[in-house]
C-alpha cells in the first residue's frame, strides 16, 4: 500500500509513540484525515497526547477505520489486530507505505543478528565510492527523514516487526541470519521466520544471502518468486574462505586479522556488505580501501578499557544463544570468562550449553533468570552462578578469575536488572575500569 492510497480515506494510526507520531504528522500534512488510537491505555485525566482515542474509544475507532497504520510496538499476536482484520479493515505500516513508493532505491538488510553491522558497513562503502547513500529504518533514523539532494540509495535496516507488514519488497534485500528471536511478538518460531522473510516475498529484483547459511538459503528460496535473482556470497564473487579471510575471484584479499570485527560470523556479514556494494559497481580495490576506515558499531565484540591486564569485550547485543556461540568461536582457544544470562524469554538454550560443555577452557558466569535456568537444566555444567550482574563482573575482575578474557555476551535481554542493553554495557565498562 502506498501513501497515495490513503487519500480521501479515514485513517487510524495505532500507537502514539515516536513512529506513530511521525506518520500521523506526515499524513496530516498530506491532507489525510487521521485519528490516533491507543486502545491498550485507559483514558488519563489529562490526555498525554491531544487527539488520541484511548481504551474502548480507541478500539471502536480501529474497527471503524478505512485503513489502520499499525506501529511496530503492536505485536502480531494482539487479539484486537485479529478483530480488525476480521472486520476487513486493511492494515499497513509506515515502512510498508514508504517502501511501496521508494522500493526502486532501497537496499534492505534483515536477519536475526548482523543486520546493523551489515547495513552500516554498506552505507559506509557506498559513501566512500561517491554514491549518495542514506541509512534508515530500524537502526534509528526514520524513513521520512529525506536528505537534500535525495539519496540515490537508501540502506534500510529492516526488523521483523517492519518486514511483517510489507506488501512490496525493496529492490535489493540481504538476509544475514535466522534463528529464534522475538517469539512473543510473532507468536511462534514459524511465524517469526514467515514475518522476517516477508521482506523477500514481494518481487525484489535481487536477494543476497550468505552461502554458508544453508538453512537461510533454503527458507529464502521457498519465498522467492520467479523474477527474483538469488545471489550467494560464494566463490563466484566475494566470500569468506576456510581461513576466515575475505577474498574475491580476482585474488583481492583481506586477511581475517585485518577485518574490523573478529570472528567468522562478522566476516560473513562483511562479505555480504561488500557483495551488496559490488552490485552498485564499486570495484574490489576501492572496497578494500574503504573497509580500512570503517568504525564498528558499539556493543559488538567491542574491546573496552580495563585495569587488570585482561581483555574485556562488550558484546551486549548478542541476545540470542546462537549469537553467543558465534562470539565465543571468535575467541577459540583462549581462556574466557563469559557473562551469560538476563531476562528469560524461554528460548532453547541448547546451542549455547552444548558449546560450553565442549569447551572446558570457558568459565560461564551465569546471571538473571536465563542464567538460573541454565544452572537448573544443566546442574553438572562447570559454571558459576551469581545473584546479580554486579557480583558476576566483580568476580570477573578479581584474582579468583583464571581467564585472560572477560566477555559480556549474555544471550538474553537486560530487562531483569537494567532499563536497556546500554545501561548493562555501562555497568560492564565500569567493572572493567575498576578491575585490578
Q: Residues marked as binding for ATP?
A: 111-117
Residues contributing to the annotated binding site? 111-117
User: Within its chain, how far is the Cα of 376 from the centroid?
Assistant: 30
Residues facing 91 on adjacent strands:
68
User: What Å distances lie between residue 419 and 343, 348, 373, 412, 413, CA to CA?
Assistant: 11, 24, 21, 13, 10
- Among 199, 137, 173, which Cα is nearest to 279's? 173
Peptide bond into 149 cis (omega under 30): yes
Q: How far, in Å, CA of 118 to CA of 112, rounded?
A: 12
Q: How far, in Å, CA of 237 to CA of 367, rounded?
A: 43
- Among 324, 341, 349, which Cα is nearest to 413's? 341
Q: How far, in Å, CA of 157 to CA of 358, rounded?
A: 35
Which stretches of 237-349 are DSSP H helices? 264-278, 284-291, 321-329
Handedness of CA 151, 156, 162, 168 (dihedral sign): positive
Residues facing 384 on adjacent strands:
365
Listed in order, strand segments (DSSP E) in 131-182 are 133-137, 153-157, 172-175
Cell 544452572: give the residue.
Answer: 375
Amino acid at each position: 500500500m502506498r501513501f497515495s492510497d490513503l487519500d480521501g480515506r479515514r485513517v487510524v494510526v495505532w500507537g502514539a509513540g515516536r513512529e506513530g507520531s511521525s506518520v500521523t504528522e506526515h499524513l496530516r500534512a498530506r491532507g489525510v484525515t487521521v485519528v490516533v488510537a491507543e486502545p491498550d491505555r485507559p483514558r488519563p485525566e489529562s490526555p498525554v497526547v491531544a487527539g488520541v482515542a484511548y481504551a474502548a474509544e480507541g478500539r471502536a475507532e480501529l474497527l471503524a477505520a478505512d485503513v489502520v497504520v499499525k506501529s511496530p510496538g503492536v505485536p502480531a499476536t494482539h487479539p484486537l489486530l485479529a478483530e480488525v482484520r476480521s472486520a476487513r479493515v486493511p492494515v499497513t505500516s509506515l515502512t510498508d507505505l514508504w517502501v511501496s513508493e521508494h522500493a526502486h532505491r532501497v537496499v534492505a538488510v534483515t536477519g536475526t543478528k548482523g543486520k546493523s553491522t551489515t547495513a552500516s558497513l554498506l552505507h559506509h562503502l557506498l559513501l566512500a565510492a561517491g554514491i549518495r547513500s542514506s541509512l534508515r529504518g530500524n537502526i534509528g533514523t526514520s524513513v521520512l527523514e529525506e536528505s537534500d539532494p535525495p539519496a540515490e540509495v537508501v540502506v534500510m535496516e529492516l526488523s521483523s516487526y517492519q518486514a511483517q507488514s510489507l506488501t512490496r519488497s525493496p529492490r535489493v534485500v540481504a538476509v544475514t541470519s535466522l534463528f529464534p528471536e522475538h517469539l512473543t511478538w510473532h507468536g511462534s518460531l514459524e511465524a517469526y521466520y514467515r514475518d522476517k522473510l516477508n521482506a523477500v516475498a514481494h518481487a525484489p529484483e535481487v536477494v543476497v544471502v550468505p552461502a554458508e547459511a544453508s538453512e537461510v538459503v533454503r527458507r529464502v528460496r521457498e519465498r522467492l518468486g520467479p523474477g527474483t535473482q538469488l545471489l550467494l556470497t560464494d566463490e563466484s564473487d566475494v566470500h569468506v574462505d576456510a581461513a576466515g579471510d575475505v577474498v574475491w575471484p580476482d585474488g583481492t584479499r583481506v586477511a581475517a586479522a585485518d577485518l574490523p570485527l573478529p570472528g567468522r560470523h562478522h566476516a560473513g556479514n562483511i562479505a555480504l556488505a561488500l557483495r551488496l556494494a559490488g552490485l552498485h559497481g564499486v570495484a574490489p580495490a576501492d572496497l578494500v580501501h574503504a573497509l580500512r576506515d570503517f568504525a564498528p558499531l558499539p556493543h559488538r565484540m567491542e574491546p573496552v578499557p580495563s585495569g587488570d591486564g585482561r581483555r574485556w569485550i562488550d558484546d551486549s547485543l548478542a541476545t540470542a544463544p546462537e549469537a553467543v556461540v558465534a562470539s565465543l568461536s571468535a575467541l577459540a582457544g583462549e581462556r574466557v570468562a563469559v557473562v551469560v544470562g538476563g531476562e528469560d524469554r524461554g528460548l532453547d538454550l541448547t546451542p549455547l550449553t552444548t558449546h560450553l560443555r565442549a569447551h572446558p577452557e570457558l568459565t560461564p558466569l551465569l546471571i538473571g533468570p536465563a542464567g538460573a535456568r541454565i544452572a537448573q537444566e544443566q546442574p553438572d555444567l562447570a559454571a558459576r552462578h551469581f545473584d546479580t550482574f554486579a557480583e558476576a563482573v566483580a568476580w570477573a575482575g578479581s584474582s579468583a578469575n583464571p581467564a585472560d578474557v572477560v566477555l559480556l555476551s549474555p544471550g538474553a535481554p537486560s530487562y531483569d536488572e537494567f532499563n536497556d542493553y546500554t545501561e548493562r554495557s555501562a555497568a560492564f565498562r565500569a567493572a572493567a575500569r575498576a578491575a585490578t
